[in-house]
Structure 1
Amino acid sequence: MKTTASAAGLPLQVPDRAGTHQAFMLLRTVFTVAPILFGLDKFTNFLADWTVYLAPVATSVVPVPAQSFMYAVGVVEIIAGVAVAVRPRFGSLLVAAWLLGIIINLLVLGSFYDVALRDFGLLISALALNRLSPAGPRASRK
């Protein structure tokens, strides 16, 4: 790490390129694996009964049974995880948007505020991944 001055004139630790790359790889790995695992679990309900977290308004807008809705959710989560693995800059935004939808759903449900707060932290982390991601396949590593 190198030290530089912040806007307030205080010392500021700036991570070196290795630290930045490690942070990128940690976030990319988590946002690849977690959505895929949670997406697959929408089909098995091994970790949780995911329909409990679904606001009834969702199935009134899309008139399907709650479990069928969760199957679609699982597919989107798997796609989001694969997108992070393949195109992290795009995939991280997809995950962030998805997390925002989950947060809104939980707030509309009127419970699980703790989960909504946790998902807000994950949304911020997904945006950090976006900022750390290279601009594209041809982006140079400086």
Structure 2
Amino acid sequence: MNTNLLLVKNVLKYTFGLVPIVAGLDKFTNLLTNWSQYISEGFAGMLPLEPSTFMMVVGVIEVVAGILVFTKTKIGAYVVSAWLVAIALTLIASWSYVDVAVRDLVMAIAAFSLAKLSESSSDQVGN
């Protein structure tokens, strides 16, 4: 893999490894934001648990996804991409935080790009 592609792959790998881990851990502290605000009232009413508890479950999933990007990059990048699309669709469906939904869709494309880069380079650089 040429040097520029390797640099791009590594930047994306660290981005989509670290960001989900940080965001996932923050679901327990709410230092960055109050994550429960992103749950629509209708969806919150359907949850069998408190929105803050639900967000902690989400946090665990995000931490695992970030670790997966570091350990099994191709699979982890697909997981993160799908997760970001799911979040964006949820926000679009409730028509709240549409700006965040658009940002998450762009990030999903970048995570998908990491997965594709990892597919084409797995024999040359490792997963």
Same fold (TM over 0.5): yes
1:30 aligns with one of 15, 19, 36: 15
What's the CA shift for 1:20? 0.6
d(CA) in 2 for partners of 1:19, 1:65: 46
Unaligned 5+ segments in structure 1 are 1-15
d(CA) in 2 for partners of 1:61, 1:91: 29
Unaligned 5+ segments in structure 2 are none
Residue 62 and residue 135 in structure 1: after superposition, are their counterparts in 2 closer, same or farther (change >3 A)? farther
Following TM superposition, where does structure 1 have runs of at least 4 consecutive aligned residues deviating by more than 6 angstroms? Answer: none
What's the CA shift for 1:108? 2.1
- RMSD of aligned C-alpha atoms? 1.8
Matched-pair contact (CA < 8 Å) for 1:59–1:69: no
Number of equivalent positions: 125
What's the CA shift for 1:33? 0.4
Aligned residue runs from structure 1 range 1-142, under 5 A: 17-134=2-119, 139-141=122-124
Residue 135 and residue 111 in structure 1: after superposition, are their counterparts in 2 closer, same or farther (change >3 A)? same
What's the CA shift for 1:44? 0.1
In structure 2, what residue type is equivalent to 1:105? T
CA-to-aligned-CA distance 1:2-28 (integer Å, 9 cap, x gap)? xxxxxxxxxxxxxx7111111100000
Higher strand proportion, which one?
A: 1
What's the CA shift for 1:134? 4.1
Question: Which structure has the greater CA radius of gyration?
Answer: 1
Matched-pair contact (CA < 8 Å) for 1:89–1:134: yes
In structure 2, what residue type is equivalent to 1:141? Q
Structure 1 counterpart SS, 2:21: helix
In structure 1, what residue type is equivalent to 2:36? T
Structure 2 length-normalised TM = 0.91
What's the CA shift for 1:63? 1.2
Structure with greater contact order relative to length (CA < 8 Å, sep ≥ 6): 2
In structure 2, what residue type is equivalent to 1:93? Y
Q: State the percentage of identical aligned residues.
A: 34
Higher helix proportion, which one?
A: 2
